[in-house]
Amino acid sequence: MKVVIRLLWYFAFFWVLVLCAGTFLQYYDFKHHSAFLEIKQAAVETGWYLPAFYCHIIGSSIILLIGFFQFSKKVYNNRPLHKILGKIYVFGVLFFAAPGAYVMTLFINRGNWVFASFLMQNTLWVTFTLAAWVLIKKGRVDDHVKMMRRSYALAFGAVMLRFYIWAFTMFGSGVGFENNYIIISFLSWVPNLLLVELINYYNKKYTFSTGHGHI
């Protein structure tokens, strides 16, 4: 079991780095010449899309890195650092990444099911993050940790979305094939939540160590 968890840990860290590095390399100059923005020209011309887009991708990149290390034993045991990073994570989700995602969702042109998937994911993300904040303020540490796992599972959906797009493109019929993007949109976050619920169920307290930290 420890070997499986360790492999998942390395897998997650690798794809978080890929996403964050890719975001920086593609969008650091704010010139809007990426392939993704090229197909979103109608949305860009509204004036609403680009601010939301940059809030979302920059905010998500920061909180993905911060959130990942929040589950590290060293960071968790460093209470001042853990609290500071936690505040940045919550602030980033509630005021940058999630609001940006809501606006971007309004411009989705892949059908009602994809729209519903991202809307549900984002709403649950806000709900779990806010709940985690309230729980720690009340001193309910174990419940706070469980809720933060749920929140990060949904944040990690951004990583899995790109992973599945890559996988479907390389080994399948691509994202343009009928219903494939619907499958990808739900696959990017629903299994994450199911996995976290299993972890929460089998770990009544915050003692699930990977050898490189806690998850």
Tell me which of 11-25, 93-107, 182-196 is least confident: 11-25
Quote the Cα angle for 142-66-33, to 5°: 140
pLDDT at 62 over 70: yes
Query: Could you tell me the maximum CA-CA distance found in the chain, to the nearest angstrom?
Result: 50
Q: What is the DSSP string of 17-61?
A: HHHHHHHHHHHTT----SHHHHTTHHHHTTSSHHHHHHHHHHHHH
Kindly tell me the sign of the dihedral angle through the C-alpha atoms of 76, 79, 81, 86: positive
Q: Cα–Cα distances in Å, from 195 out to 66, 72, 84, 190? A: 20, 18, 27, 9
Encoded tokens for 136: 């720690």
Q: Which residue has the higher pLDDT, 71 or 132?
A: 132
The encoded tokens of residue 105 equal: 């969702």
Confidence of residue 214 (pLDDT cuts 50, 70, 90): very low
- Which pLDDT does position 215 carry in this prediction? 35
Structure tokens at 159: 């990583």
pLDDT at 177: 65
- With a pLDDT cut of 70, the percent of the chain lying above it is 87
Output the pLDDT for position 209: 39
Residue 127 has pLDDT above 80, yes or no: yes
Residue 214 is given by DSSP the state B
| pLDDT category of residue 179 using cuts at 50, 70 and 90 | confident
Where b means 16+ CB within 10 Å and e means fewer, 101-128 reads: bbbbbebbebeeebbebbeebbebbbeb
Partners of residue 62 on adjacent β-strands: none
| Predicted TM-score (pTM) of this structure | 0.86
